[in-house]
Amino acid sequence: MAGGELHLNAYRQVPGVEVMALCDPDLDKARSVAGQKGVPYVCSSLDEALDTQPADIVSVCSPPSSHFRLCRLALEHGCHVLMEKPIFQTLDEAGRIRDIIDRTGGKFSAVHNAKYQYGLQQALKLVKEKAIGEIRQIHAVRMIDGGQDRLAVDPSSWCHTLPGGRWEELIAHPIYKAYQFMGPMRFVHLGMKRTHDRWPWLPADELEIVLEGGRGYVSIKLSANADNYNFIVVYGSKKYLYVDSDMAIDPLSIAGLVRSRPPLHKLLRDRLFSASTSRTILSGHDPHAALIKDFIAYIHGRRAEPPVNWQEAINTLELGLQIGNEIQRHKSVLADVKEGRT
């Protein structure tokens, strides 16, 4: 989905960019997508594509077990790389890729697309203007319906091969969102529990994670037992912001509008607290396309840094690995308790 839909559609929105090839071991799938999207060439491997099709950028959207090999291959063929998360399986792989980047001069960026969402960009603008004072804490919420989530519901999905399963794959988003406000963070605490056995391949269905940044703490709530909603709250010394993909709003100011304009209050209240995440305020705003445009500007020297700098990418990876391993450890403890071994 990430490659054949999100990346491909995003590239098609960028003037002057042509998608040369789609690579997938499932050639029938690649041919089907290529036929729908007008991509001229399909192949079963990146090796074949790079040997036959000249390209400037490779988007790596495969499972993370293949990321190191594909990234190295692309860089050594003179290409620049956009890497989906989790970017690598280990910090050692990341370090080795860093050496290859330095040697080849290739450009690299993780795909932290949600940092380009309109709501987050507006929140960063307000924080920069000191509209909420000094940042104190971040609260991030990511609720999914485990029975409807594409990766969670499929026990054969690659994400379940990660130590933290679906949660390790998902956790990068709230981490890098918080990074925009907090900078580098460290892992502090994980709490998790299993409330039922509907999806036994998930290590838990309710999780709470605490990180610590230079400005304060970040709490992350994850659940597989809710309708889909996704937001963060940025707490400042003066005010706080509710932030989702579409907007950044000071709920305290909304309260002032309630008394004079009930219809507006109802609209905002419904927008703030609805579980639906399918709506968008800015028609045509594609975070993936915005990130790709900035990556191309970086390649051509019009930007000093990639869309996601190395420090952000590595801090997100490191925390994701720590949390995944901690989930795995807690999973073993939960199993011991359930089976009466402790």
Q: Which of the residue ranges 143-152, 228-237, 283-292 would you say has the lowest mean pLDDT?
A: 283-292
Judgement on whether residues 46 and 64 belong to the same structural domain of the protein: yes
Q: Tell me the residue type at 49.
A: A
294 occurs within a structural domain? no
Judgement on whether residues 107 and 125 belong to the same structural domain of the protein: no
Q: Answer yes or no: are the C-beta atoms of 64 and 38 closer than 8 Å.
A: no
Supply the pTM of this predicted model: 0.89
pLDDT score, position 203: 94
Q: What is the band of 247 on the pLDDT scale with cuts at 50, 70, 90?
A: confident
Judgement on whether residues 47 and 156 belong to the same structural domain of the protein: no
3-class DSSP state of 39: coil
For residues 53, 72, 99 and 305, what is the CA-based torsion angle, rounded to 10 degrees?
Answer: 60
Segment 177-208, tens digit of pLDDT: 999 999 999 999 999 999 999 999 999 999 99
Judgement on whether residues 139 and 65 belong to the same structural domain of the protein: no
Number of structural domains in the chain = 2
Domain final position from 51, 76, 111? 111
Q: Which of 28-42, 54-68, 253-267, 323-337 has the highest mean pLDDT?
A: 54-68
User: From edge to edge, which strands make up the β-sheet containing 80-83?
Assistant: 57-60, 80-83, 108-110
Judgement on whether residues 172 and 255 belong to the same structural domain of the protein: yes
Domain final position from 111, 137, 161? 111
Judgement on whether residues 88 and 118 belong to the same structural domain of the protein: no
If you write DSSP's letter for every residue of 218-285 in order, what string do you get?
A: EEEEEESEEEEEEEEEEEESS-EEEE-SS-EE-HHHHHHHHTT-HHHHHHHHHHHH-S-----SSTT-
Average pLDDT of the chain to the nearest whole number: 87
